[in-house]
Amino acid sequence: MSCSSVSRLPRFDAPLASQLEVVLIGPRYGEAICVHLGSNRWLMVDSCLYEGSVAPLHYLNQIGVDASAIEMIVATHWHDDHVRGLSEVADAASDAVCVVPLALNSKEFITLASAYSGRDALAKGVSELYRVLYQTDVARLRFAAASQLLLSTTTEAGPVNVWALSPSSEECRRALVAVGSMLPREGAPIGHPPARRPNHLAMALLITVGDTALILGADLEEVGDPLVGWRKVLTEPVAQNIAATLFKVPHHGSDTAYYAPVWQSILTANPVAIVTPFERGKSKLPTADGIAQLKGHTPHLFVTSPRVLTRPPRLSSIVSDDVAARTKDGLRTVARRPGIVRCRRHPGDRSGAWEVGLYDGAAQL
């Protein structure tokens, strides 16, 4: 059993020193993850804004934890929806190690970051990471690639290891090529950088605490190439003999990030799966088909901020396949307050189960 209970949270409280906690924040545009590794030592993965505040710092403030407790900050890639406010997190946690994908330690990225104005969403993400890289003490910076051990320590929750599952060497190479293509030509006016896709740099993570393993999928996609994406992750030495009980679904549950062997090879049966939505213009994820696909692997699927399709006020506030299937029958989208999914577990607990708490608009799908 991977999920022992699901409850609605009226407020937050700090985890116990021996407790593993994963908090997913996703306000329809943006994503941030706060991981308590035990002993009040925290790992922050990406950043976004939550009701006007920098999400990771807002959450720690809510539970009475100072930013000095942050041990490591990971920027999984440069897209604006994953790095908003990240430089503020790095400034507040002045002793934390900051980890970014290896390819960002390049003259091409430096040139790109200094070339664009920051008005475009991609350019804003580039600028945010630029501030992290060049306003942070070099001793705090780490540049990571697949199968690299980022953190190894011990807390009251048990031995802790944090590994990068991506990007592969080929993904780093392609990222450099992509960055080079974004650079303005000599003498040409500087406008906005090209479209944000494809993303060659997403850094998925494997975290083990005691006997518990979890995978944070970032925005890593699958393109059918054995040298990149999830297909490559499954061949990494660190991904062998893994049975993760919690999975942060990659890229907002999109078809481009789905790869069935991931569920069969490195996850337990019926793991806890958590996902954030993405709503920007016509892009809306996860889709009803995407939700159905994920629910085919686990009944324990949770979203931070569902798009509730309803004919108010009669239908349930929780998204279901039945509701989603009737969107063409006059149903409309009803906005809900952004939510937070909190997952807690005591490593070593024989039940092996996560306690899931839902805050504000978060829901089980």
C-alpha pair distances (Å), 148 with each of 35, 68, 176, 207, 329: 19, 25, 19, 12, 50
- What local confidence, expressed as pLDDT, does residue 197 receive? 54
Neighbours of 98 (CB within 10 A): 23
Predicted local distance difference test score (pLDDT) of residue 110: 61
219-278, pLDDT tens digit by residue? 999 999 999 999 999 999 999 999 999 999 999 999 999 999 999 999 999 999 999 999
Beta pairing, strands 244-248 & 267-275: parallel
Residue 266 CA to residue 159 CA, distance in Å, equals 20
The structural domains of the chain, with segments of one domain joined by +, span: 3-183+196-364
pLDDT tens digits for range 327-348? 443 334 444 567 999 999 998 7
Q: Is 106 exposed, middle or buried (CB count within 10 Å of its CB: 0-12, 13-18, 19+)?
A: middle
Contact yes or no for 113/65 (Cβ under 8 A): no
Return the CATH architecture of domain 3-183+196-364: 4-Layer Sandwich (3.60)
Output the CA torsion 185→201→104→22 (10° steps): 140
Report how far residue 192's alpha carbon sits from residue 47's, in angstroms, rounded to the nearest whole number: 23
Cβ-contact 271, 300 below 8 angstroms: yes
Helix (H, G, I), strand (E, B) or coil at 200: coil
Residues 6+ apart with CB under 8 A from 137: none
> What value, to the nearest 5°, has the Cα angle with vertex 220 and ends 286 and 203?
130
Q: What is the DSSP letter of 123?
A: H
Residue 29 has phi, psi (to 5 degrees) of -145, 100
Could you tell me the two tokens for 93? 């946690």
DSSP state of 202: -
First to last CA, the chain: 18
Dist. CA 25–CA 28, nearest whole Å: 9
Average pLDDT over residues 81-108: 87
The predicted-structure confidence for 148-179, as pLDDT tens digits, reads as follows: 999 999 999 999 999 999 999 999 888 878 77
- Total residue length of the chain: 365
CA–CA dist 312, 146 (Å, integer): 47
pTM of the model: 0.86
**β 244-248/212-216 pair status:** parallel
Residue among 148, 162, 44, 167 at smallest CA distance from 103 = 167
pLDDT exceeds 70 at position 113:
no
Name the more confident of 86 and 328.
Answer: 86
Task: Measure the CA angle with vertex 29, ends 27 and 33; round to 5°.
Answer: 60
Q: What distance in Å separates the CA atoms of residue 321 and residue 58, rounded to the nearest whole number?
A: 33
The position carrying tokens 């804004």 is: 49
Supply the mean pLDDT for the chain: 85
* pLDDT-based confidence at residue 105 (cuts at 50, 70, 90): low
